[in-house]
């Protein structure tokens, strides 16, 4: 089959690599325009563009995928399938109607759960025990199209949004190949989603990383794991922002009245902070304008002591 691949982010790379190795013809790779990145703001292409270039594939980088120029370009490719993975633009119905067979998408959740831009993050934040990937027919309404295939995996206790993404991007590529076999043989089925079971996963905002120490330790632990890589979990300390990248839950701590946000221990054994219920041992931190470091090294370099209250400067 003749395929146009739409993708930009790191998540999409394994799917493109799998297609390159398959029997199918990739007639074009569509990805976001180059952007200025890094300290010196040099123009750089997307992860998908780099993969496409290494494979010698034709690329197209429109500012707007819904423009008349883009529509005409895509029609001229005469593709059987559009495969859309972490592309980053909204499609019009006119564009979705172009492929001869259908437009397909890999979505990083078990739809209809976690429709939206941040399904992996919210699954971790909300303490889900499982997630997965869905191959679906793309409809105009976000992530609402009928499902062709799904596969679930367990969310491990110490998974972060980053580690889970790494698992799901390869699972998505594998499941895409299974879906293409079904489509090629015309043996696929389209299963409509149950609208009563929809859970939304909107794009994360800066404030989603702000820690409320009055909430239970286990919830803050899930927040820390779920808001990586951005915005990251953060609190206030000494008039600056303190980011927390890793922590362990301590359900009890002996002989201490709970004051949420209070540092009740800061020594070589760890930085223990009281929460609304339970305690957190902070394992990896970064003070604003400083380096990311272990809790033990943080104590050496900063005057954090028991009795201080985190977050009061937020």
Cα–Cα distance measured from residue 241 to residue 286, given in angstroms and rounded to the nearest whole number:
9
Q: Are residues 130 and 238 in the same domain?
A: no
Does any domain span residue 310? no
Q: What digits encode the pLDDT tens for the residues 86-113? A: 999 999 999 999 999 999 999 999 999 9
146 & 76 share domain: yes
Q: Please count the structural domains in the chain.
A: 2
Average pLDDT, the chain: 95
Same domain? For 141 and 288 the reply is: no
Burial of residue 89 (CB within 10 Å: 0-12, 13-18, 19+) is: middle
Q: What global pTM score does this model have? A: 0.95
- For residue 312, pLDDT over 90 is answered with no
What is the tens place of the pLDDT at every residue in 47-77? 999 999 999 999 999 999 999 999 999 999 9
Rounded percentage of the chain residues whose pLDDT exceeds 90: 90
Residues 129 and 248 both lie in one domain? no
Structure confidence at residue 127 (pLDDT): 97
Asked if 41 contacts 64 with a C-beta cutoff of 8 angstroms, the reply is no
Question: What is the C-alpha separation between 57 and 241, in angstroms, rounded?
Answer: 44
Domain boundary at 197, 224, 257, which? 197
Residue 254 has pLDDT above 70, yes or no: no
pLDDT of residue 203: 97
Overall average pLDDT of the 37-43 stretch: 73
The reply to whether 222 and 182 lie within a common domain is no
Residue 177, in any domain of the structure? yes
Q: Which residues contact 248 (CB under 8 A, 6 or more apart)?
A: 221, 280, 281, 283
In a domain, 185, yes or no: yes
Looking at the structure, do residues 221 and 188 belong to the same domain, yes or no? Answer: no
Shared-domain flag, residues 145 and 59: yes
Specify if 166 maps to a domain.
yes
Whole-number pLDDT of residue 314: 42
Among 192-206, 256-270, 294-308, whose mean pLDDT is lowest? 256-270
Across the range 234-248, mean pLDDT stands at 96
171-176 mean pLDDT: 98
Q: State residue 144's pLDDT score.
A: 98
pLDDT value of residue 216? 95
Query: How far apart, in whole angstroms, are the C-alpha atoms of residue 97 and residue 93?
Result: 6
Whether residue 189 lies inside any domain: the answer is yes
Q: What is the CATH number of the domain that holds 222?
A: 3.10.25.10
| pLDDT for res 59 | 98
pLDDT at 41 over 50: yes
Structure confidence by residue, pLDDT tens digits, 201-234? 999 999 999 999 999 999 999 999 999 999 999 9
Q: Between 160 and 312, name the one with better pLDDT.
A: 160
Q: Collapse the DSSP code of 166 into the 3-class scheme (helix H, G, I; strand E, B; otherwise coil) and give the result.
A: helix
HSE of 27, CA atoms in CB hemisphere, 13 A: 16
Where is the domain boundary, 165, 197, 229? Answer: 197
- pLDDT value at position 301? 86
Which tens digits make up the pLDDT trace of 12-29?
A: 999 999 999 999 999 999
pLDDT band at residue 37 using 50, 70 and 90 as cut-offs: confident
21 and 148 housed in the same domain: yes
27/164 same-domain check: yes
Residue 112: is the preceding peptide bond cis (ω within 30°)?
yes
Domain holding 83, by residue range, is 2-197
137 and 259 fall within a common domain = no
Residue 179 has pLDDT above 90, yes or no: yes
Cβ-Cβ contacts under 8 Å for 242 (sequence gap 6 or more): 234, 235, 236, 285, 286, 287, 288, 310
Indicate whether 43 pLDDT > 90: no
Predicted confidence (pLDDT) at residue 313 exceeds the cutoff of 70: no
311 within a domain of the structure (yes/no): no
In a domain, 309, yes or no: no
CATH number of the domain to which 74 belongs: 3.40.50.170
Say if 61 falls within a structural domain. yes
Domain boundary among 143, 167, 197: 197
pLDDT score at 255: 63
Same domain, 192 and 290: no
The verdict on 162 and 293 lying in the same domain is no
Residue 156 has pLDDT above 70, yes or no: yes
């Amino acid at each position: 089959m003749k395929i146009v691949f739409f993708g930009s982010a790191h998540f999409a790379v394994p799917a493109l690599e799998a297609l390159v190795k398959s029997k199918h013809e990739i007639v074009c790779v569509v990805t976001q325009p180059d952007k200025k990145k890094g300290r010196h703001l040099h123009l750089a292409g997307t992860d998908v563009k780099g993969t496409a270039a290494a494979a010698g594939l034709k690329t197209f980088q429109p500012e707007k995928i819904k423009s008349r120029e883009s529509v005409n370009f895509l029609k001229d490719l005469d593709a059987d399938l559009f495969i859309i993975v972490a592309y980053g633009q909204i499609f019009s119905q006119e564009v979705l109607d172009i492929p001869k067979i259908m437009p397909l998408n890999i979505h990083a959740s078990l739809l209809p759960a976690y429709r939206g831009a941040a399904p992996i993050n919210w699954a971790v934040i909300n303490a889900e025990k499982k997630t997965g990937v869905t191959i679906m027919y793309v409809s105009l309404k976000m992530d609402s199209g009928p499902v062709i295939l799904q596969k679930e995996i367990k969310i491990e206790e110490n998974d972060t949004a980053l580690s889970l993404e790494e698992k799901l991007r390869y699972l998505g590529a594998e499941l895409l190949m299974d879906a293409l076999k079904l489509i090629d043989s015309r043996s696929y089925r389209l299963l409509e989603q149950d609208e009563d079971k929809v859970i939304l996963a909107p794009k994360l905002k800066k404030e989603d990383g702000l820690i409320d120490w009055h909430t239970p330790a286990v919830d803050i632990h899930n927040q820390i794991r779920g808001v990586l890589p951005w915005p990251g979990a953060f609190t206030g300390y000494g008039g600056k922002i303190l980011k927390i990248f890793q922590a362990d839950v301590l359900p009890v701590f002996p002989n201490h009245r709970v004051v949420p946000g209070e540092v009740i221990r800061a020594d070589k054994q760890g930085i223990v902070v009281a929460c609304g219920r339970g305690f957190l041992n902070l394992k990896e931190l970064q003070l604003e304008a400083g380096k990311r470091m272990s809790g033990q090294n943080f104590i050496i370099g900063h005057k954090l002591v028991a009795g201080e209250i985190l977050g009061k400067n937020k």
